[in-house]
């Protein structure tokens, strides 16, 4: 069965190294981890490529409309929702945490909300990348659209490696082995 791996992020240089683009950072790390050299194509309001039986998707809409790309790709490839893995930042997990799960709440994440709306269900898999909670003096939106601190930057490599291994496991075994 084909799998769809969705890496959430926002287009534009101003978002490139922000917490909200952690999904896109994982995409780059996974591509390097797998030694991928194939080019990306534009379709489904996204950039996508194939890696074996998996379709890798980077929606090019803003976060709030990511579900449109996911819906189009799942319909085109006939991918069941249980075979969709959405890689995203999560303020509910401490920084450096990586957790894979099936379903769950949206936690105020507009990208997840969009995917749920467009798929008509929350029964898709998530790879949650902990970015931690903002200090009380910083608004959540400002925090997730802000860059990682220099100390956090040093820990990102381990997070990206762990996330890449989780994606590889999901492609091979789905969520059942978790």
> Which residues are catalytically annotated?
20
- Within 8 A by CB and 6+ apart from 78, the residues are 2
Cα–Cα distance, 144 to 119 (Å, whole number): 25
Helix H segments across the chain? Answer: 22-33, 66-77, 110-119, 140-144, 150-173
Quick one: which of 15, 9, 12, 5 has its CA closest to 57?
A: 5
């Amino acid at each position: 069965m084909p799998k769809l791996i969705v890496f959430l992020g926002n287009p534009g240089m101003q978002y490139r190294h922000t917490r909200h683009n952690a999904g896109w950072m994982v995409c780059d790390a996974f591509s390097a981890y797998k030694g991928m050299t194939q080019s990306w194509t534009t379709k489904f309001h996204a950039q996508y490529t194939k890696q074996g039986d998996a379709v890798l998707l980077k929606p090019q809409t803003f976060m709030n409309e990511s579900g449109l790309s996911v819906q189009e790709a799942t319909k085109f490839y006939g991918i069941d929702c249980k075979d969709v893995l959405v890689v995203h930042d999560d303020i509910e997990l401490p920084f450096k945490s990586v957790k894979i799960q099936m379903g769950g709440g949206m936690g105020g994440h507009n990208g997840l909300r969009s995917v749920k709306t467009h798929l008509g269900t929350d029964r898709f898999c998530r790879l949650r990348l902990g970015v931690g909670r903002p200090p009380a003096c910083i608004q959540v939106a400002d925090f997730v659209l802000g860059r990682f601190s220099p100390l956090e930057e040093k820990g990102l490599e381990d997070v990206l490696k762990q996330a890449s291994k989780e994606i590889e496991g999901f492609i091979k075994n789905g969520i059942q082995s978790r």
